[in-house]
């Protein structure tokens, strides 16, 4: 339905311009009536609830714990779910982005997760200003961040996410 609405809007603009320029006397798209959407209640609920329920989250994390012998993979998955961050945003996190006293983290950078070489994984600003934001951290998110900082991890090969995750004192999580 969105595609039909978009096409009608484009045609309306085109013919409206033609009307203003006196190429035509009337906009022929004025009388177009679009068909009503036949969305079901299930479709509407699915659109509104794009996140996981608490039970679904537990199922995913339980699977991660059973399938992986390395707790780091499960912690990364849990952190993604808790914060709602994208992989690229988590990969761009730096220690300077963290304000653990105020329980906040700033998203200022993202990383190219499609890069194949570690040397080509560079930080760059998010695509738009809306992506630069602050996230308030709950106690569990802070525990996860502190776990990674305290363990001063150097390199993890993460097959679960399909990326390499680097940790050092300067960079918290880099995908």
Q: What's the pLDDT score for residue 117?
A: 62
- pLDDT for res 173: 47
Q: What is the CA radius of gyration of the chain?
A: 23
Tell me the whole-structure pTM to 2 decimals.
0.58
Query: Which regions of the chain does DSSP assign to beta strands (E)?
Result: 93-94, 98-99, 104-107, 110-111, 123-124, 133-136, 155-158, 163-166, 171-173
Output the pLDDT for position 174. 40
Euclidean distance between CA atoms 77 and 59, whole angstroms: 12
Q: CB-based contacts of 142: which residues, under 8 Å, 6+ apart?
A: 100, 103
To which residue do tokens 């595609």 refer? 3
Predicted local distance difference test score (pLDDT) of residue 118: 58
C-alpha distances in Å from residue 39, one per residue of 2, 9, 45, 88, 115:
12, 21, 10, 33, 39
**Cα(39)–Cα(37) distance, integer angstroms:** 6
Confidence at residue 156, expressed as pLDDT on a 0 to 100 scale: 38
Stretches in the chain below the pLDDT threshold 50: 1, 154-175
* Whole-number pLDDT of residue 104: 93
Q: For residues 115 and 121, what is the distance between their CA atoms, to the nearest angstrom? A: 6
**Number of other residues whose CB lies within 10 A of the CB of residue 159:** 10
Query: According to the model, what pLDDT value does residue 112 have?
Result: 76
């Amino acid at each position: 339905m969105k595609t039909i609405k978009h096409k009608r809007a484009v045609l309306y603009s085109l013919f409206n311009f033609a009307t203003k320029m006196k190429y035509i006397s009337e906009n022929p798209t004025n009388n177009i009536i679009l068909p009503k959407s036949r969305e079901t209640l299930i479709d509407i609920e699915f659109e509104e609830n794009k996140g996981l329920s608490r039970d679904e989250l537990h199922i995913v994390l339980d699977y991660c714990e059973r399938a992986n012998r390395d707790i780091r993979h499960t912690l990364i998955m849990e952190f993604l779910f808790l914060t709602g961050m994208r992989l690229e945003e988590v990969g761009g996190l730096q220690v300077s982005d963290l304000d653990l006293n105020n329980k906040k983290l700033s998203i200022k950078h993202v990383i190219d997760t499609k890069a194949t070489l570690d040397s080509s994984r560079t930080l760059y600003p998010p695509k738009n200003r809306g992506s630069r934001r602050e996230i308030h951290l709950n106690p569990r998110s802070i525990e996860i961040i502190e776990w990674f900082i305290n363990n001063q991890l150097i390199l993890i090969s993460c097959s679960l996410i399909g990326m390499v995750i680097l940790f050092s004192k300067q960079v918290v999580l880099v995908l």
